[in-house]
Amino acid sequence: MSSRLRLQTAVTVAVFATVSIVEAQTSSIPRTPSGQPDLSGTYDIATLTPLQRPERFGNKAFLTEEEAAALEREEFDRNLDRNQASNPNREAPPDGGDGSRGAAGNVGGYNSFWIDRGSSAVLVDGQYPTSI
């Protein structure tokens, strides 16, 4: 009787394992009506790696480790300066921003906390791309 119970248990486990594997293989990526992958959702842009490659990098696709470290140091120093307490009696900023380089299209904010770009370059397959 115990061998019969073992056989039934083994068959049951095998059936459930097979169903799980088949179901995992048949699940698909959500698609748009045109058949393209559906990439809708909320994305976090807190990264030093820009969406478009800055002109200063030209056609260079990847940064060296030293260049990525320098970029991270620049951002650290920039944040030290920009995260200082704001003067509550300062003048209103000019329409459209002051023209300086900044995050979020330089629309401004109380301080950099609200428009943080992150603190490190993106590492993809062991390389630092110059754009996403």
Binned at pLDDT 50, 70 and 90, residue 2 comes out as confident
Residue 21: inside a domain: no
Range picked from 25-29, 55-59, 76-80, 96-100 for highest mean pLDDT: 55-59
Indicate if the pLDDT at residue 10 is higher than 60.
yes
Sign of CA dihedral 95, 99, 104, 105: positive
Residue 72: inside a domain: yes
Binned at pLDDT 50, 70 and 90, residue 36 comes out as very high
Which residue from 18, 53, 46, 54 is spatially nearest to 122, judged by alpha carbons? 46
Residue 103: inside a domain: no
Residues of the domain holding 129? 44-85+109-132
Domain count of the fold of the chain: 1
Please give the mean pLDDT across all residues of the chain: 79
- The confidence score (pLDDT) of residue 100 equals 65
Which residue from 52, 58, 59, 47 is spatially nearest to 118, judged by alpha carbons? 47
Residue spans of beta strands (DSSP E) within the chain: 62-63, 128-129
Residues listed for the chain? 132
Residue 131: inside a domain: yes
Residue 24: inside a domain: no
Indicate if the pLDDT at residue 1 is higher than 60.
no
Query: What confidence tens digit (pLDDT) does each residue in 77-111 have?
Result: 988 887 788 788 988 777 766 666 655 455 555 55
- The confidence score (pLDDT) of residue 52 equals 87
Indicate if the pLDDT at residue 126 is higher than 80.
yes
Record the tokens describing residue 66, joined without a space: 């030293």
Residue 67: inside a domain: yes
Record the tokens describing residue 81, joined without a space: 């300066």
pTM for this prediction:
0.50
- The confidence score (pLDDT) of residue 26 equals 61
Record the tokens describing residue 127, joined without a space: 């390389």
